[in-house]
Structure 1
Amino acid sequence: MKHYFPKYCEKFRCIANLCPDSCCRDWDVVVDDTSFDFYNTVKGEFGDRLRSLMTIDEDGDRIFIRQGEKCPFWNSDMLCDIYINLGENHLCHTCKEFPRITQDYTVFCEHTLSFACPEAARLMLESDFDTGFATDIPQDLQTDYSTTEMNFLLSARKRTFEILSDCKMSLSERLCRLLAFNERVQNMLDDEIFDITAMPTDEYKKQSCGDASFIFDLHKSLDIMSKDWLCELEATADFAKNNTLSSRFDRPLTAYLDYYVRRYYLSAIDSFNVISTIKRMVCAYIVTAYELERLENPTQAEVVKILQGYSKEVEHSYENGELLEDEFIFNPLFSTDNLIGIL
């Protein structure tokens, strides 16, 4: 099996207690079966503590019981007691792997990092465009999906990357082209036309369609962990009513949207839905670009915080993902033409 790694994956190291927004806070930590079995063998006071601080949540997952919205093993020095007492090898799978993301497509794997981690976000924002991704696979491989369809998606994704990285255009224009191109790709998927030689164009027509308030309204309805983030969202929504976007932040926003393509585009091999990835990118762009504009001259650390915060609040919730998908499918405000109109 071939593995694809962007260069920033090799550079990542957890910065532990120096992290400005630790993954030991706010989120539930799911304890995998292997770790659970080992924790049941740990003797002494620490073993008793381990076992007393696990429970089953409403989804049926075994988790650590949060204390004050943080992992109970995240100590006052902002370090992990499990790591200290048992070593890195006995962290549960979630803690050992995050923010590393592995996407297994049977005959190849692609690796990336989650933007919800501040250090990973910093590395991705500081990296140049990276070609560490698959572009085609042999047709005769044994897979549980159509290799013809996968090669069609890989070709469409390659073109998507090319449009996104074309800095001769503003990012808003690139997003218009991405919407138009991938709407046509979606139509080909729907009709089961997987002809790479007939790859559609990215030409589009634009008709002004009002403001982006409906995008902010959708985000306000999501499952939000942080009250501070919700307050920022509401302030940004008000700001967006009377202000327009510049291209000052196109570079970091392009890096962020590149991550979206890497992480979500090929999910269409199962969902047969490629346009939703682009619509998620447009939503992320609108919210974060206006937030950056509102700050006028944000530092690099503030840019990282805004993009990382959006990823943490919006991406890492199945409920949020399902709500976004439903709106993209059933709400006409999120039609491709309407989204092109507000960009």
Structure 2
Amino acid sequence: MLVRIPDYFDQFACLAGACPHSCCIGWEVVLDEDTVRRYQQLPGALGERLRDAMALDGEDVCFPLDGRRCPFLNQENLCDIHCALGPEATSVTCQEHPRFIEDYGPFQEITLSAACPKANELLLGTRDPLTFSERQDNQPTEDGDEWLDWLVPLRDRLLDLLRDRSRPLKARLRDFLLITGEAQQLFDSENMAELAAFCTGSLAISAETDAGSGSWEAAACRCLQDLEILEPDWLALLKQWEQAPELPSFAPQDPEKLERIAVYFAFRYLLKAVNDGDLLGRAQFCALGVLVTDRLSRFVGLPEALRLFSREIEHNEENLDTLLEQFWQTEGLSLSALLAAFGG
């Protein structure tokens, strides 16, 4: 199978006990069925401890938190299971984190969550354009959705657009939204031939858009506070933003790193439109992610702003789904409002 990964993927190594924001703190560990069976049969004191710790949360078996910590996270911030039995004895959740793995049938794509301090450091540790590489592994392939035939080349062109540093970042982000908006209209009209030509040919950009009304800042800040909050630091940061004066326009302090964030989001999310056809909503999410992390970076710096946004939104499917709905329901998060944020 073909596997696509970001250019810094092989540089990643877990910080383990040295991690300043351990993924074993604040999140319950959900156990897959194979791991549950293995733990149920494990002899000795560790086996008994594992079985005592397991509990049902709805339909999932998990390790409930003990003082916000996984019960197997020791005082050195190391995993007792990992130390005693090796990494292969931990759950799939633990083995895969911070990797987001998306299977599309004929290929797979893997990104590293920006909520992870080490992955965050690799993403924002350079101002070079973010690129992706391909490799082959021995996993079996399946047929892919026919939408991928136009989504993949369209995304490739959009990534090139976002990395085109001959133009200001806000102009690139504005065109990114306009192009996905036009592609969405073609898809909604079921004009597949014209859609395929649009995605593989020269990308024409319409300059005609309705003027945005309302403030994206106020709408985004209010919407994010209404979502499920995982970390008190996130809510405190949103309250700080709410009380700060609005900025007149998008004027990024570090456009090269914000470009890398935009490319990170676009690579991860645009192809997921195969699930429901909502390409524009996911493009709006990418644009909003850039706007929010840039705005919050004025208070906590860009790496921490991105880490918190990723932790709260990317790792919570309900929060992400609610945001996608709000792009259609909230004027301040509409396409025209986001275009206005980028000066169009």
TM-score, normalization by structure 2: 0.89
Query: Which residue among 170, 173, 178 is the counterpart of 1:180?
Result: 178
Q: Which one of the candidate residues 168, 173, 180 is aligned to 2:166?
A: 168
Q: Would the aligned equivalents of 1:288 and 1:306 in 2 still touch at CA under 8 Å?
A: yes
The answer to whether the aligner puts 1:76 opposite 2:88 as a matched pair is no
Paired-residue identity, %: 29
- CA distance, structure 1, for counterparts of residue 248 and residue 21 of structure 2: 30
Instruction: Note if contact 1:54-1:63 (Cα within 8 Å) is conserved in structure 2.
Output: yes
**Mapped contact 1:75–1:81 kept (Cα < 8 A):** yes
Residue 298 of structure 2 is aligned to residue 293 of structure 1: yes
1:270 corresponds to which of 271, 275, 282: 275
In 1, Cα distance between equivalents of 2:164 and 2:297: 22
| Equivalent residue number for residue 219 of structure 2 | 214
State the shift of 1:243 in Å.
5.7
1:236/1:287 contact within 8 Å kept: no
1:239/1:294 contact within 8 Å kept: no
Establish whether residue 202 from structure 1 lines up as the match of residue 205 from structure 2. Answer: yes
Secondary structure in structure 2 of the residue aligned to 1:13: coil
Secondary structure, aligned partner of 2:110: strand
The Cα RMSD (Å) is: 2.0
1:225 lines up with 2:223 in the alignment: no
1:111-157 CA-partner distances (Å, limit 9, x unpaired):
221111110111122353344268xxxxxx972521xx312111211
Equivalent residues of 1:288, 1:310 under 8 A apart:
yes
In the TM superposition, what whole-angstrom CA distance separates every residue of 1:256-280 from its partner, at most 9, and x where no partner exists?
A: 1211111111011121111111111
- SS of 1:70's equivalent in the other structure is coil
Matching residue of 2:20: 20
Distance change in 2, residues 1:126/1:204 (3 Å): farther
Matched residue SS, 1:198: helix
Post-superposition CA distance 1:233-252 (Å, at most 9, x none): 11123224256542322122
In structure 2, the partner of 1:3 is 3
Kindly provide the amino acid, as one letter, of the partner of residue 161 in structure 1: L
Q: Which residue of 1 aligns with 2:246?
A: 241
Amino acid at match of 1:282: A
SS of 2:23's equivalent? Answer: coil
Conserved? CA contact 1:224–1:314, under 8 Å: no
SS of 2:24's equivalent? coil
After TM superposition, give the deviation of residue 190 of structure 1 in Å.
Answer: 1.2
Gaps of 5+ in 2: 135-140
1:173 CA displacement: 2.1
After superposition, the C-alpha distances for 1:201-239 in whole angstroms (9 at most, x for unaligned) are 234346463422111111110111111211111112322
Aligned twin of 2:317: 318
> Is 1:49 the equivalent of 2:49?
yes
Q: 1:284 to 1:144 in 2, by over 3 A?
A: closer
Q: Which consecutive residues of structure 1, in runs of 5 or more, have no partner in the other structure?
A: 135-140, 296-301
Matched residue of 2:55: which SS?
strand
CA drift at 1:71: 0.6
Which residue type is aligned with residue 120 of structure 2?
A: A
Q: Secondary structure at the match of 2:8?
A: helix
Q: How many residues align?
A: 328
Distance 1:185 1:277 in 2: 13
* Residues 95-106 of structure 1: pairs in structure 2 closer than 5 A: 95-106=94-105
Which letter does structure 2 place at the counterpart of 1:78? N
Distance in 2 (CA, whole Å) between partners of 1:245 and 1:131 is 25
For normalisation by structure 1, the TM-score amounts to 0.89
Provide the C-alpha distance between the structure 2 equivalents of 1:341 and 1:42, rounded to a whole number of angstroms: 59
